[in-house]
Amino acid sequence: MLFRVLQKDELSTLFDQLARANATVGPIESGIDRKGNPMYAFEPVSNFADLRLSYSTTKLPAKRYFLPYQEDLASFRMEGDDWQKNVDYNIDKPCVFFGLHACDINALNKLDKVLMSALYPMPYYAAKRMNMFIIGIDCQPQPFCFCGSVASDSVTHGFDLFLTDIGDCYFLEVLSATAYNVLKTVKTSEPEEKDHVRYMKVTAERNRKFTAHIDTSDLAKILDMEFQSPVWKQWGDKCLGCGTCANVCPTCYCYGVEETVNVDLRGARKSKTLYSCNVIDFAEVAGGHNFRPERSTRLKYRYYHKHRGFVEAFEESLCVGCGRCGEACLAGITAPEVIASVRGEES
């Protein structure tokens, strides 16, 4: 890995260089909540001044840019006596992501394992993922973040450039040739020993600020043991089955596919919609049988996929500890509390 140092006032030049030629997405302020705190969202940005690089977190992940909530996979059209099929991966140009936190980049790395490295890669995801230029940025721990517990508080791959604020300048990690070439357009310098020291001090200070945790030691095993635990029923009673936790999750990728015939009966389309395992008919099969009719079993299976099934398959959990699910859950169900209760601990 290459390291460089970038003076802070050079960052807008870097942004302008990239945004001039590419679609660019970054954190912006989307509004003020009822407590007076700013809310943030990943939106297309063309003006550097609109970016909020010191954002706490966004309500929703950047998922819609690489795993849209709804996407047409194919469309069909009758042409005289014949028919045409059109397949579109729904990406026509590269996209710059300016200011993703480590958790959200780790989420992409996890999605890659399922959607790109698997036996049957998903081209709709791969096409978008391969056309991403990602600039990561360091974050300030929020009361609901537990990324450190799931090894997502820092990120070592899956991005092009990573910025860490070390005072009057940014410490840069340069990971791709593209990033190296892009940096030629701005003024950077070789980091000195004092910059290394500042980097280490800044990250150590940040790491001390995490307050939320989950205990993942032996968790896959413990989940197996506690399959019949009464705590699942308690959480199930609270759960709304609304699917919000999955929709705000940067790693939830489950989906349904539906074919819809056009009103003119001359065409049809096959579309994919992200779905949630907490929704009533997620495990409903042909004939109407539902394998998970109770909210408690559905909620349980979401935790089993994240912290047991995925761990068995990839030796890591399908959770980056961003805490968005707990923040968005109107019923106040949070991952640290659920995991602690399964372990028989007070959270």
Site for another protein, rule CB under 8 A: 30-34, 39, 41, 59-60, 64, 69-70, 76, 78, 80-83, 237-244, 247-248, 260-268, 273-274, 276, 279-281, 293, 295, 328, 330-332
User: What is the rounded CA–CA span in Å between residue 114 and residue 111?
Assistant: 5
Overall size of the chain counted in residues = 347
User: Which H or E run includes 96?
Assistant: strand 95-100
User: Closest approach of Cβ 91 to another protein, in Å?
Assistant: 19
Q: What whole-number distance in Å separates Cα of residue 107 and Cα of residue 319?
A: 8
Give the orientation angle of helix 335-342 with respect to helix 231-238, to 10 degrees.
Answer: 160
Distances (CA, A) of 329 to 114, 160, 248: 26, 33, 10
Q: What is the closest distance, in whole angstroms, from the C-beta atom of residue 30 to another protein in the complex?
A: 7
- Which pairing describes strands 95-100 and 82-87: parallel, antiparallel, or unpaired? unpaired
CB of 221 to another protein, least distance (A): 31
Token pair in block for residue 13: 């030049």
Which CB atom, from 15 or from 282, has the smaller least distance to another protein?
282
- φ, ψ (nearest 5 deg) of residue 191: -65, 145
Distance CA 35, CA 215 (A): 31
Return the structure tokens found at 101. Answer: 């936190």
Closer residue to another protein (CB): 127 or 280: 280
Please give the Cα distance from 159 to 110 (Å, whole number).
13
Q: How are beta strands 161-165 and 132-137 bridged, if at all?
A: parallel
Tell me whether residue 9 or residue 33 sits nearer to another protein (CB atom).
33
Vertex 292 angle, CA 246 and 317, to 5° = 40
Nearer to another protein, 16 or 43 (CB): 43
Residue 125 to residue 83: CA distance in whole angstroms:
27
C-beta closer to another protein: residue 74 or 151: 74
Q: How far is the CB of 33 from another protein (least distance, A)?
A: 5
CB-wise, 41 or 114, nearer to another protein?
41
Instruction: Please say which residue, 161 or 279, places its beta carbon nearer to another protein.
Output: 279
- Cβ pair 110, 313 in contact under 8 A: no
Question: Smaller CB distance to another protein: residue 36 or 230?
Answer: 36
CB-wise, 82 or 312, nearer to another protein? 82
131's tokens: 């056309």
Q: How far is the CB of 34 from another protein (least distance, A)?
A: 4
Alpha helices in the chain (DSSP H): 11-21, 102-115, 123-129, 177-183, 193-207, 219-225, 231-238, 244-247, 295-304, 310-314, 324-328, 335-342
- Minimum CB–partner distance for residue 245 and another protein (Å): 10
Shortest Cβ distance from residue 54 to another protein (Å)?
A: 20
**Smallest distance, Å, CB 257 to another protein?**
13
Give the residue carrying structure tokens 């990839």: 314
CB of 17 to another protein, least distance (A): 28
